[in-house]
Structure 1
Amino acid sequence: MSEPNGGHPSLRSVFGDAIELDGEGGVYRIVAELTVGGRAYAVLQSDEMRKEGTVEVFRVTAGPDGNPELETVEDDDEWETVAEAYDDLQFGGDERP
């Protein structure tokens, strides 16, 4: 993994610790920003998701103004790869609670 922002400003530097997503409803906490396979990703979590112990993964791209924009990750394999990288970051490799 390399720089979490993929060469553009981080989500936190632009939005703070939380972001409201159009069409998704509610505010999401920015849990992590990471780079996997040369692409930048964000792991977000709403209050409801936190209660359930789940997260959502988004691809981070640079918008026309250079600021980060989020894209839904549609591919299950890509989503799983990023979720596993996030777990590794949280739990230190293969160790799971």
Structure 2
Amino acid sequence: MPIYQLKDAKPIDVLKTTFGDEVVLEDEESSRTYVLLAEFSLGPNEYAVLAPAEPQKDEAESVFRITRNAAGAPELETILDDEEWETVSEIYDEMTADFD
């Protein structure tokens, strides 16, 4: 992954436009509601940061890559590459540093 800085992050509203301020994530066993904290692009990729609407003890935000399905609708994908996840997390931390 190329080296990105805060200035490279561009705000987007893909998920907000599609789902609103909350996103329901489902797996085989359950579904859970998350609050959309941020979404932005870095280079050719788009990312979202979500927090559980009802967090458990010591539960942090989750970072996802936004992809598109065959119909063009946005979907969330877990970031498996450690370097990519670290880069996106650091950019988000810088974005929110002024508000802490």
TM-score range, shorter chain: 0.7 to 0.9
Runs of 4 or more above 3 Å deviation: 2-5
Q: 1:75 to 1:29 in 2, by over 3 A?
A: same
State the Cα distance separating 1:2 from its structure 2 match.
5.0
Q: Deviations over 1:7-58 (max 9, x none)?
A: xx61000000011111163101111001123310000110216x63611111
TM-score by length of 1: 0.78
In structure 1, runs of 5+ residues without a counterpart are: none
Equivalent residues in 2 for 1:1-97 (5 A)? 1=8, 3-5=10-12, 10-23=14-27, 25-46=31-52, 47-48=54-55, 52=58, 54-92=60-98
> Structure 1 or 2: larger strand share?
2
State the Cα distance separating 1:67 from its structure 2 match.
1.7
* Fraction of identical pairs, as percent: 39
**Alignment length (residue pairs):** 90
Q: 1:38 to 1:81 in 2, by over 3 A?
A: same
CA distance in 1, matches of 2:69, 2:11: 17
